[in-house]
């Protein structure tokens, strides 16, 4: 029977050779000889490009393929899931072939279709980090800079289309608030999957569609592997000239209910790591200080070129969800730094009648400070309500000293200045369908005590110095209490919303100051009344502000508001037994318009008028010495400023074209009732206020543009601003009109020549010119260019060469153009990076520059860090 069949087979083969070929047989287990089901047997051409036919073996392991083609020979290929592939070249004739099947674990080449580098989902723009990141990036901040539309300033502040962002989330949680530099500098790029950008982001969900925002927010989306796992890095480095250290440790965790980020950093290599602890949202913090040791002006260079520091910073942050709605945030930061600086300067003051006054100074100074801040915050943010209660404490202890050699006269200065403040913030918003209610309260207390000692006092005409008391001591104490409380309600009917808010502010400050003659053993003589202040200043405001909002869906919204500020100011001068009381009304009307012209194109316009009255430091009769050669008082009427401003901007973000840009223009005009004039008596300057209406105005036009080319992994950015302002200045009791113009242009390119060679280039150009009293001052042009070239070998070894060029037209001679050269080698293994950094290879020892402000020219030289080398090892915990 079997033979018959075989005969039939052979016969059939011969008869149909040209028409039809049948390949059949069995697939058997090589060991057990049992039939194997599900094996693919394929007939392909000899080159194995095209499949002519195939069969999948049945339960018994049988297969059969019919071929109707013309080819003489064929490839039979046997494949299957977890089956070792085999192929045989056969003659194209009907035949029976059995295969012995062997097994092997199937391995495939993993592939992922790269997601688009940037995509838009209504008001959210999603950047896929993998499209931007490469092996040269250390932290997510390095990657953010390459995303079109996003820019990161040197300070670490993140902007979208030229406007600073208003929130920075990690996985939707706001742990760091304005100190998001801690996140951008310490979260590794490889842990982030996507960066989401929310345009026109209103962080308080209950105020959505009620209060507009022109700011964007950023949310980092972690890779699954980085979620819910502890992660961190440890870094240690040492270098020479001078002997340097550089250490960092970070540990972080990002879970669904709990996040924490903790960082310790220290170095004396010129890296001001305290900068990442500054809040970009501003507002709160120690009040600025009036007194100071004379410091040389810092050069307009990368900080690591000149900063001499010994810094330690610690930051610990955590956020946890207490229940569905409530989250608790704890932040604590501490910084200690000791900085020294050395420089020379020449200041030229243009005085009326074409006179010049020149001051030469050689300055050596040091700054030592300890700063700490701690805050505790409870927050709920839902569509129905918002609750925030935040308590924070801030302390800063400054201990500065300096020596100035001015025209061969030497002055020593010592400043001690402790400042502490505490703040409570409370906010509650409740939203119903048509109604909403908000209650806000912001209260802070600030205490500051400053003592500046000058040895010796140069100007004996100011205070009665004698041989026994040749020095001076300036003290200043201030206690400042502020509280701002408001209640507001809004009612929405169809497209209209009506809002009314009442705000009650209290602002109370006591300030005492005294400028005394001091002996070498720090004994002081009581100061005369002219050198003393003891002022109690109080201001109470009741601000009623009605606002009407019209909104047409997501397309358009307009706001008009008319805040009326009823206020009472009282100022008591206990030294001069003066009392000043003033009750007044100030108006602060505004109109704003937000429109979405296209999904990619948004317009914002705003016009506002604003009146403000001066505070304590706008009027004090006793002299205060704020610097060894600056002494001033401000005797005047209450200062009053009225300012009108208009601004309009267009913001464009097309993810399809990967093109982002913005244009903005603004105009302002201000009227002041006081003129602050500076008079010079030798090197000593006095600031006095004179009652004299004066006007200033200005406008600026700016724009940004950035474009991503995915094919060449490149981002190109351009930006420019032109500012024109006119104002009036008082010099030697003569009023002079001053007009200044400034043009700023910037360009940056991040591109690659090949996979192994990358270039990062930035260029900035600043041109400023001014005219005073019809006299044109010499214009100053500055150019700064930075280029780094990375050679990447096997994704493991990175060789970096960097150069910087600075040009300043105001400097004569060789220092007009300055060049710096750096180089570095990084070797990356899975968890450890080895970095060798060489800075300032050409050993440029000082920086010279010139600048122009108001009607002064200022030239200075600053001592730079020498050529140095640093070796760093960085471990990644995961």
Q: Would you tell me which residues interact with other proteins (CB under 8 A)?
A: 38, 40-42, 44, 49-54, 56, 77, 79-83, 85, 106-113, 119, 121-124, 167, 169, 171-174, 196, 198, 201, 203, 205, 217, 219, 256, 321, 323-325, 381-382, 494
Do you know the residue count of the chain? 878
Give 112 or 521: the residue with its C-beta nearer to other proteins.
112
- Residue nearer to other proteins on the CB measure, 254 or 628: 254
Q: How far is the CB of 113 from other proteins (least distance, A)?
A: 5
> In whole angstroms, what is the distance from residue 58 CA to residue 149 CA?
59
CB of 43 to other proteins, least distance (A): 10
Within a 10 A sphere around the Cβ of 660, how many other Cβ atoms? 27
49 vs 830 by CB, closer to other proteins: 49
Q: Which is nearer to other proteins, 354 or 383 (CB)?
A: 383
Q: How far apart are CA 457 and CA 463, in angstroms?
A: 9
Q: Shortest approach of other proteins to residue 40 CB, angstroms?
A: 3
Structure tokens at 140: 């997510």
CB of 179 to other proteins, least distance (A): 17
Which residue, 658 or 736, has its beta carbon nearer to other proteins? 658
Residue among 49 and 794 whose Cβ is closer to other proteins: 49
Question: Any residues with CB less than 8 A from the CB of 313 and at least 6 apart, and which?
Answer: 263, 264, 265, 266, 273, 274, 276, 277, 333, 334, 335, 336
Task: Give the integer Cα–Cα distance in Å for 10 and 21.
Answer: 11
CA 626 to chain centroid? 31
Closest CB 255 distance from other proteins, rounded Å = 12
Q: Please say which residue, 54 or 428, places its beta carbon nearer to other proteins.
A: 54
Nearest distance from residue 100's CB to other proteins, in Å?
17
* Shortest Å distance, C-beta 52 to other proteins: 8
Q: How many CB atoms are located within 10 Å of the residue 87 CB?
A: 13
Q: SS3 of 35, please?
A: strand
Instruction: Give me the least distance between CB of 134 and other proteins, in Å please.
Output: 20
Distances (CA, A) of 620 to 292, 293, 520, 571: 18, 22, 29, 10
CB closer to other proteins out of 52 and 349: 52
State how far the Cα of 756 lies from the Cα of 734, in Å rounded to an integer.
63
The burial class, CB within 10 Å (0-12 / 13-18 / 19+), for 472 is buried
HEC profile of 769-809: EEEECCEECCCEEEEEEEEEEEEEECCCEEEEEEEEEEEEC
Closest CB to other proteins among residues 79, 479: 79
Residue 202: CB minimum distance to other proteins, A: 9
Lookup: tokens for 439: 């209650």
Q: How far is the CB of 104 from other proteins (least distance, A)?
A: 12
Nearer to other proteins, 83 or 535 (CB): 83
3-state secondary structure 458-502: CCCCCCCCCCCCCEEEEEEEEEEEEEEEEEEEEEEECCEEEEEEE
List the Cα angle 385/194/753 in 5-degree steps. 150
Q: Which is nearer to other proteins, 387 or 864 (CB)?
A: 387
Q: Under DSSP, is residue 4 helix (H, G, I), strand (E, B) or coil?
A: helix
Q: Which is nearer to other proteins, 32 or 122 (CB)?
A: 122
Nearer to other proteins among residue 56 and residue 757 (C-beta): 56
Closer Cβ to other proteins, 88 or 775, answer by number:
88
- Looking at 144-226, which runs of residues are DSSP E strands? 150-152, 158-160, 163-164, 167-170, 192-198, 217-222
**Distance between CA atoms of residues 324 and 234, nearest Å:** 35
**Least gap, CB of 647 to other proteins (angstroms):** 26
**CB of 425 vs other proteins, minimal distance in Å:** 18
Distances from the Cα of 125 to the Cα of 128, 302, 599, angstroms: 10, 32, 11
- Are 460 and 449 contacting, i.e. CB atoms less than 8 angstroms apart? no
Pick between residue 201 and residue 708 the one whose CB is nearest to other proteins.
Answer: 201
CB of 106 to other proteins, least distance (A): 7
Nearest approach, Cβ of residue 118 and other proteins (Å): 13
Pick the closest to residue 147 from 132, 162, 161, 167 (CA basis). 132
Alpha-carbon distance of 222 to 190, in angstroms, equals 9
Nearest to 758 by CA among 800, 817, 695, 698: 800
CA atoms of 743 and 781, how far apart (whole Å): 9
Minimum CB separation from other proteins for residue 300, in Å? Answer: 38
Q: How far is CA 100 from CA 31, 66, 79, 850, in A?
A: 8, 21, 12, 86
């Amino acid at each position: 029977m079997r033979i018959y069949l075989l005969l039939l087979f052979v016969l059939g083969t011969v008869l149909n050779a040209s028409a039809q070929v049948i390949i059949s047989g069995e697939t058997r287990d090589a060991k057990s000889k049992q039939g194997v089901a599900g094996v693919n047997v394929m007939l392909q051409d000899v080159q194995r490009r095209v499949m002519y036919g195939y069969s999948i073996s049945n339960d018994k392991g049988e297969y059969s393929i019919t071929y109707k083609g013309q080819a003489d020979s064929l490839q039979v290929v046997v494949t299957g899931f977890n089956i070792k592939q085999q192929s045989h070249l056969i003659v194209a004739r009907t035949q029976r072939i059995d295969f012995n099947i062997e097994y092997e674990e199937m391995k495939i080449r993993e592939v992922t279709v790269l997601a688009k580098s940037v995509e838009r989902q209504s008001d959210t723009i999603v950047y896929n980090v993998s499209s931007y990141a490469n092996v040269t990036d250390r932290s997510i901040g390095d990657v953010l800079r390459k995303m079109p539309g996003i820019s990161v300033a040197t300070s670490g502040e993140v902007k979208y289309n030229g406007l600073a962002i208003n929130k920075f989330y990690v996985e939707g949680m706001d742990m760091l608030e304005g100190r998001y530099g801690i996140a951008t500098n310490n979260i590794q790029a490889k842990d982030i999957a996507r960066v989401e950008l929310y345009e026109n982001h209103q962080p308080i969900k209950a105020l959505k569609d009620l209060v507009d925002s022109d700011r964007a927010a950023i949310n980092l989306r972690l890779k699954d592997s980085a979620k819910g796992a502890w992660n961190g890095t440890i870094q240690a480095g040492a270098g020479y000239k001078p002997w340097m250290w550089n250490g960092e440790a970070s540990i972080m965790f990002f879970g669904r209910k709990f996040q924490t980020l903790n960082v310790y950093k220290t170095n004396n290599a010129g890296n001001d790591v305290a900068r990442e602890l500054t809040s970009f949202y501003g507002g709160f913090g120690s009040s600025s200080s009036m007194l100071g040791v004379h410091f040389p002006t810092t050069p307009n260079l990368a900080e690591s070129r000149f900063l001499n520091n010994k810094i330690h910073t610690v930051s610990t942050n955590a956020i946890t969800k207490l229940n569905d709605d409530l989250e608790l945030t704890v932040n604590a930061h501490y910084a200690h730094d000791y900085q020294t600086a050395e420089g020379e300067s020449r200041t030229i003051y243009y005085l009326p009648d074409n006179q010049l006054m020149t001051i030469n100074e050689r300055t050596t100074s040091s700054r030592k400070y300890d700063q700490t801040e701690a805050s505790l915050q409870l927050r709920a943010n839902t569509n129905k309500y918002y609750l925030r209660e935040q308590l924070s404490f801030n302390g800063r202890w400054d201990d500065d000293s300096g020596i100035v050699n001015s025209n061969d006269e030497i002055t020593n200065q010592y400043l001690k200045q402790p400042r502490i403040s505490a703040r409570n913030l409370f906010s509650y918003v409740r939203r119903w369908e048509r109604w909403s209610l908000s209650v806000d309260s912001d209260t802070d207390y600030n205490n500051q005590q400053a003592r500046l000692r000058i040895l010796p006092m140069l100007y004996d005409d100011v205070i009665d110095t004698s041989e026994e008391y040749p020095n001076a001591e300036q003290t200043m104490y201030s206690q400042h209490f502020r509280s701002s409380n408001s209640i507001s309600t809004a009612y929405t009917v169809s497209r209209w919303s009506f809002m009314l808010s009442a705000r009650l502010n209290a602002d109370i400050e006591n300030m005492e100051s005294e400028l005394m003659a001091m002996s070498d053993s720090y004994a002081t003589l009581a100061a005369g009344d002219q050198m003393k202040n003891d002022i109690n200043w109080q201001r109470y405001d009741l601000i009623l502000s009605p606002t009407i909002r019209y909104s047409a869906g997501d397309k358009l919204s307009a706001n008009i508001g008319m805040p009326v500020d009823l206020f009472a100011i009282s100022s008591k001068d206990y030294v001069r037994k003066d009392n000043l009381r003033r009750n007044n009304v100030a108006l602060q009307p505004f109109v704003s318009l937000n429109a979405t012209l296209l999904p990619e194109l948004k317009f914002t316009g705003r016009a506002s008028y604003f009146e403000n009255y001066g505070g304590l430091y706008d009027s004090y009769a006793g002299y205060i010495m704020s610097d060894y050669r600056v002494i001033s008082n401000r005797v005047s009427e209450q200062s009053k400023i009225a300012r009108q401003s208009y601004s309009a901007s267009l913001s464009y973000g097309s993810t399809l074209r990967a093109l982002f840009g913005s244009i903005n223009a603004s105009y302002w005009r201000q009227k002041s009732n006081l003129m602050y004039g500076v008079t010079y008596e030798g090197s000593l300057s006095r600031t006095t206020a004179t009652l004299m209406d004066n006007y200033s105005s200005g406008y600026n036009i700016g724009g940004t543009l950035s474009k991503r080319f995915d094919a060449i992994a490149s981002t190109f950015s351009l930006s420019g601003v032109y500012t024109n302002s006119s104002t009036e200045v008082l010099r030697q009791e003569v009023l002079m009109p001053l007009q200044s113009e400034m043009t700023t242009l910037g360009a940056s390119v991040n591109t690659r020549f090949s996979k192994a060679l990358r270039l990062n280039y930035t260029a900035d150009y600043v041109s400023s010119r001014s005219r005073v009293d019809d006299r044109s001052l010499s214009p100053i042009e500055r150019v700064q260019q930075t280029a780094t070239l990375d050679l990447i070998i096997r994704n493991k070894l990175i060789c970096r060469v960097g150069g910087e060029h600075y040009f300043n037209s105001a400097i004569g001679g060789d220092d007009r153009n300055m060049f710096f050269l750096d180089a570095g080698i990084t070797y990356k293994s899975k968890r450890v990076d080895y970095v060798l950094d060489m800075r300032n290879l050409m050993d440029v020892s000082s920086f010279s520059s010139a600048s122009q402000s108001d009607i002064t020219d200022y030239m200075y030289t600053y001592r730079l860090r020498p050529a140095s080398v640093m070796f760093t090892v960085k471990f990644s915990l995961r």
